[in-house]
């Protein structure tokens, strides 16, 4: 690689016209990131994802006209160089699943064409720089599994093109910014394990593009707002492990598609009497997770195991079960009885 770059410096060769570097994606490469890539002045794409590369990101790369920089799934350490903010042509910055540390450089707010910024699963600290308010072209922002401090910033209201917002166990805390309501193109909203408090904001019910809402493992309380009834078209709703109370709305049970209400404090009534009703998982929906006592799970009291099966025994099938379709049906029935014995309830498989 170094010999080729030396040729490029002295005379125009074909490698000088290289526009992308993707052939080393997922090739079990090790070693450090070469600063010599800066000698490829026409390089627009670097994708070294899923290797074993270590060391820090070379500041020299900040002089390249990159459109995509992906180092996802390596062993990269050190901070994000402020020089990356000079790559105003950059549309994708994917640094997830590394060991990158330090604060986010305010210079990243200069990425005027950024489309996707994926920074999850690192050791990033500090808050979200105020300069990020200028990232108005963002459609996908993910910062889960980091060590940030402060609250979820109001500046996200400027990201009017945003489709995915993923903040899970990032270190940032609530409340849920009211400015999220201005993100009319949002399809995926994940604020899982963000220490959110207070009640569910009614304005979420007006966001008709949403397909995934995950507010699980927080400290949200109060009822599910009446304004949420238009969310019956959302593909997945996860309110798992909060302190939500009062009645489970009719629209959730009758029209909802893959909803998880487990471990909350809803009213114990006919709706919550079943561990699962249609596509709604209500296992322990009247008992918060802190209790963690399955013997008090009310819906289990009405759940009856099939009388023909007992415990974990290896059930004997009649010799007449020679037809494959019949065997498969019997196997499914045995599997169901095993789940009954173990006291577990199926959650959504997809």
**Tens digits of per-residue pLDDT, 194-229?**
999 999 999 999 999 999 999 999 999 999 999 999
**Percentage of residues in the chain having pLDDT higher than 70:** 75
Assess contact for 178 and 157: CB atoms under 8 A: no
pLDDT on residue 175: 86
**Tens digits of per-residue pLDDT, 35-91?**
999 998 889 999 999 999 999 999 999 999 999 999 999 999 999 999 999 999 999
Provide the H-helix boundaries in the chain.
2-10, 250-255, 324-342
Domains by residue range for the chain, with CATH: 1-138 (3.80.10.10), 305-350 (no CATH)
**Measuring CA to CA, which residue among 213, 220, 228 is closest to residue 198?**
220
Give CA 23 to chain center in angstroms: 28
**Measuring CA to CA, which residue among 156, 242, 163, 241 is closest to residue 207?**
163
Assess contact for 90 and 84: CB atoms under 8 A: yes
Assess contact for 251 and 229: CB atoms under 8 A: yes
Give the span between the Cα atoms of 26 and 47, in whole angstroms: 9
pLDDT on residue 91: 98
pLDDT higher than 80, residue 318: no
pLDDT band at 191 (very low <50, low <70, confident <90, very high): very high
pLDDT on residue 278: 85
pLDDT band at 290 (very low <50, low <70, confident <90, very high): low
Task: Write down the pTM of the prediction.
Answer: 0.80
What mean pLDDT value characterizes the chain?
Answer: 82
pLDDT on residue 310: 46
Q: ∠ CA(104), CA(107), CA(108), 5° rounding?
A: 65
pLDDT on residue 301: 65
- φ/ψ of residue 51, rounded to 5: -125, -160
- φ/ψ of residue 321, rounded to 5: -80, 65
pLDDT band at 166 (very low <50, low <70, confident <90, very high): very high
**Measuring CA to CA, which residue among 64, 80, 82 is closest to residue 20?**
64
Give the span between the Cα atoms of 182 and 187, in whole angstroms: 13
**Measuring CA to CA, which residue among 47, 156, 124, 48 is closest to residue 91?**
47
């Amino acid at each position: 690689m170094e010999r080729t770059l030396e040729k490029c410096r002295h005379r125009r060769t074909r490698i000088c016209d290289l526009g992308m570097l993707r052939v080393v994606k997922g090739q079990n490469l090790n070693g450090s990131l070469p600063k010599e890539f800066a000698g490829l002045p026409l390089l627009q794409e670097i994708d070294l994802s899923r290797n074993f590369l270590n060391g820090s990101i070379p500041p020299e790369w900040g002089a390249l006209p990159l459109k995509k920089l992906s180092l996802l799934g390596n062993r990269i350490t050190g901070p994000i160089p402020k020089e990356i903010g000079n790559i105003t042509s950059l549309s994708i910055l994917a640094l997830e699943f590394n060991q990158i540390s330090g604060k986010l450089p305010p210079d990243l707010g200069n990425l005027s064409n950024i489309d996707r910024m994926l920074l999850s699963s690192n050791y990033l600290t500090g808050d979200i720089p105020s300069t990020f308010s200028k990232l108005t072209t963002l459609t996908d922002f993910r910062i889960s599994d980091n060590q940030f401090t402060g609250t979820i910033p109001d500046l996200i209201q400027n990201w009017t093109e945003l489709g995915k917002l993923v903040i899970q166990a990032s270190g940032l805390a609530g409340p849920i910014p009211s400015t999220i309501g201005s993100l009319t193109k949002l399809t995926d909203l994940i604020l899982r394990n963000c220490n959110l408090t207070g009640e569910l904001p009614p304005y979420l019910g007006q966001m008709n593009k949403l397909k995934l809402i995950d507010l699980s493992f927080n400290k949200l309380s109060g009822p599910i707002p009446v304004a949420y009834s238009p969310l019956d078209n959302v593909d997945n709703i996860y309110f798992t492990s909060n302190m939500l109370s009062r009645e489970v709305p009719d629209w959730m049970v009758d029209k909802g598609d893959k909803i998880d209400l487990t471990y909350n404090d809803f009213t114990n009534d006919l709706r919550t009497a079943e561990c699962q009703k249609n596509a709604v998982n209500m296992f322990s929906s009247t008992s918060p997770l802190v209790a963690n006592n399955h013997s008090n799970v009310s819906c289990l009291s009405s759940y009856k195991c099939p009388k023909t099966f007992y415990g974990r025994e290896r059930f004997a099938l009649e010799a007449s079960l020679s037809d494959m379709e019949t065997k498969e049906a019997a196997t499914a029935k045995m599997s169901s009885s095993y789940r009954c014995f173990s006291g577990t309830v199926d959650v959504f498989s997809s």
